[in-house]
Amino acid sequence: MRKTRNILQKLINPFTNPHDSDLTRCFKPQLIGDQGRLGDGREVAVKRLAVGSRQGENQFANEASLLSGVQHKNVVHLYGFCIHGDDRLLVYEYVANESLDKILFSSSEECPKRAELNWQRRYSIILAVAKGLLYLHEGTHIPIIHRDIKAANILLDQRWVPKIADFGMARLFPEDESHVNTRVAGTNGYMAPEYLMHGSLSPKADVYSFGVVVLELVMGRQCHSFAPLPGTDAKNLLEWAWKLYKEGRFVEMVDPEIQPNLDQDQVITCVHIGLLCTQAEPKQRPDMRRVGIIFSKKPSTLEEPSRPGIPGHRYTNRSHFTSESLDSSRISSSIGSGIGSSSDSTLTPSTSASASASSSKGKASGSSSAQESICTYNDTS
């Protein structure tokens, strides 16, 4: 433990004990996500890690050391750590809103904030999480693989800006390697097939998880609690999304609570990205830089995905649709005519780029513009 302490003290700010004078309230041992305040007035969230095992000690050291040099507006900021007796505390910036899962997967009655999670906010969250992941994969000294990207690990601040959180299972990734073999750790439904089944880990595992989150935001459904719907043989969220995509049934794909006033090009692009990111073979998934480029393209120019990869299944990937192929105008007509949109939203994707730009009314309250291009995510503020 002394070695761990010495390493961490060189990296980030150590607080001497849980009742440090910098922390104006005491932390109750039974709480995991406690809240406090630093001497300079900054609110903080304190994460207390389980102790008594090498795994818990390693998780603490891993999370603290990996985040020591990370500075990005879409990644939660670590202020410091505390090692005192059996206490292992990580002191983070306080993120005032809920985690994404608590809002997205609740009813409006259970969580009134869900009514505020409109399409423009969801789209902005997708863009911002993509920026955060690109930074982790390409913007740090050594690439970081999060390994557990999911809605529960995306925190939302007062302005609905998302922050990627919980780096207890994250791994550094050597740039000269195509993948590493490692112990499998993550959440069912979000883990890429090659990682879950064979322990083969690369940044494309995070890409897969990101694709699942994108589809969850579009559909308003949670991947690992998906209940088969009457009249369909789809057993999970990805199969259901793929079936609806093939048949052009975009109206049924989109969360009913956000169907009015959608930007059809944005929805089509997000569905494409969700399916491309969840392809069975890692090499068929785009990296996060490529995802940024895809966001800036017209839907009519996007490559067609094949059936998504689901752990335990073996699919023959096809680069093109067969008799079930869709043309872009059919996709656009389906979504434009079925989702309470204005008459000009039925334009085909190839002609609707300017209409899309004019139909988006700037910024949603407290969120970044939905028209923001993430091809330029070199900002790390």
Q: Which residues belong to the active site? A: 148
d(CA 83, CA 81) in angstroms, rounded, equals: 7
Distance CA 269, CA 335 (A): 12
- Residue 293: both structure tokens together: 């480029």
Q: Which residues contact 18 (CB under 8 A, 6 or more apart)?
A: 26, 27, 82, 84, 87, 89
**Measured between alpha carbons, how far is 312 from 97 in angstroms, rounded to an integer?**
36
Q: Do 43 and 35 meet the contact criterion of CB atoms below 8 Å apart?
A: yes
Contacts of 290 (CB under 8 A, 6+ apart): none
Rounded Cα gap, residues 170 and 153, in angstroms: 12
Q: What single-letter amino acid sits at 168?
A: G
Paired tokens of 62:
């891993």
d(CA 310, CA 226): 14
